[in-house]
């Protein structure tokens, strides 16, 4: 599987699933633009890829703001060329009992997790349409498939990502641009460790595979959906969750 000559943008790629995806795409030959609110982390990730012989750049981007997204898209085109792979991975999570969800928190979750997919896709889709080839891979969540207590706001936002994927895939099916999504299960990332503290291992032990997922597990699925080999797959939800949910 080669992505040589392709240029990709991965959002939220300073750590976790996004970083693993950026590394996997670079390994396959793609040039990668790493977008993240954590500028230092994004720069370090890009520098590491460049040191390994890959083409990579970084930008501080608030994916919930169109001005940030448009500026970063312009930079990516100027430094890498037209972008034909987009991984919409950036997101935030929260555990909040339903009656304690404020409008402000609801709006923040929806803006970062769902509106960002709109903004980033609108900014980069013209490159794909011009090339008559493109891959959009959205990172959703198994919480949207199974439901999750104290995560109504998060699950709703990720359910929107799944619906967004299906609808846009129908609209673009004849253009050469595919749109798919990967809903991770319980993945061992810095964000998960921060939220669950010392409960990660115990929760993983109760899962079918008895271990948490690794960011690299998600990256493998993302890279496949971004490949030439996945050209006849669109509107698909490729669940990577260690058996947590089957569909």
| pLDDT tens sequence across 170-191 | 999 999 999 999 998 776 767 6
Which residues touch 2 (CB under 8 Å, ≥6 apart)?
28, 29, 228
User: Which tens digits make up the pLDDT trace of 186-201?
Assistant: 767 676 566 656 666 6
Alpha carbon distance 8, 86 (integer Å)? 6
In 3D space, the residue among 44, 31, 51, 38 whose CA is nearest the CA of residue 11 turns out to be 38
Following DSSP, what letter does each residue of 201-218 receive, concatenated? HHHHHTSTTSS-B-HHHH
Task: Indicate whether this model's pTM tops 0.75.
Answer: yes
Cβ atoms of 235 and 170 within 8 Å: the answer is yes
Identify the helix (H) or strand (E) that includes residue 116: helix 116-131
Looking at residue 237, its pLDDT comes to: 97
Torsion of CA 146, 230, 52, 39, to 10 degrees: -50
Structure tokens at 179: 């749109």
Please, what are the domains in the chain?
Answer: 7-185+218-230 (3.40.50.720)
Show which residues are catalytic.
Answer: 154
The segments of the chain whose pLDDT lies below 70 read 187, 189, 191-207, 209-210, 212, 247
226 three-state secondary structure: coil
Q: In what order do the strands lie in the sheet with 134-139?
A: 56-60, 31-36, 7-11, 85-88, 134-139, 177-182
Looking at residue 185, its pLDDT comes to: 77
């Amino acid at each position: 599987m080669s992505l040589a000559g392709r240029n990709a943008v991965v959002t939220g790629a300073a750590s976790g699933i996004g970083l693993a995806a950026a590394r996997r795409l670079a390994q396959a030959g793609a040039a990668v633009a790493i977008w993240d609110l954590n500028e230092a982390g994004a720069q370090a990730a890009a520098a590491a890829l460049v040191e390994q012989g890959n083409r990579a750049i970084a930008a501080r981007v608030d994916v919930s703001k169109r001005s940030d997204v448009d500026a970063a898209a312009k930079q990516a085109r100027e430094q890498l060329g037209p972008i034909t792979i987009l991984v919409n991975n950036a997101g935030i999570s929260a555990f909040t009992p339903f009656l304690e969800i404020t409008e402000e928190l609801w709006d923040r979750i929806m803006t970062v997790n769902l509106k960002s997919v709109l903004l980033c896709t609108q900014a980069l889709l013209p490159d794909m349409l011009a090339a008559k080839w493109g891959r959009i891979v959205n990172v959703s969540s198994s919480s949207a498939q199974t439901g999750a207590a104290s995560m109504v706001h998060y699950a709703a936002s990720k359910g929107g990502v799944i619906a967004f994927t299906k609808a846009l895939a129908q609209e673009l099916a004849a253009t050469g641009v595919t749109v798919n999504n990967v809903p991770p299960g319980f993945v061992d990332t810095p964000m998960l460790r921060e939220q669950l503290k010392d409960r990660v291992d115990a929760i993983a032990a109760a899962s079918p595979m008895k271990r948490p997922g690794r960011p690299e597990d998600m990256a493998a699925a993302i890279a496949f959906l971004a490949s030439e080999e996945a050209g006849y797959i669109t509107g698909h939800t490729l669940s990577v969750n260690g058996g947590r949910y089957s569909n």
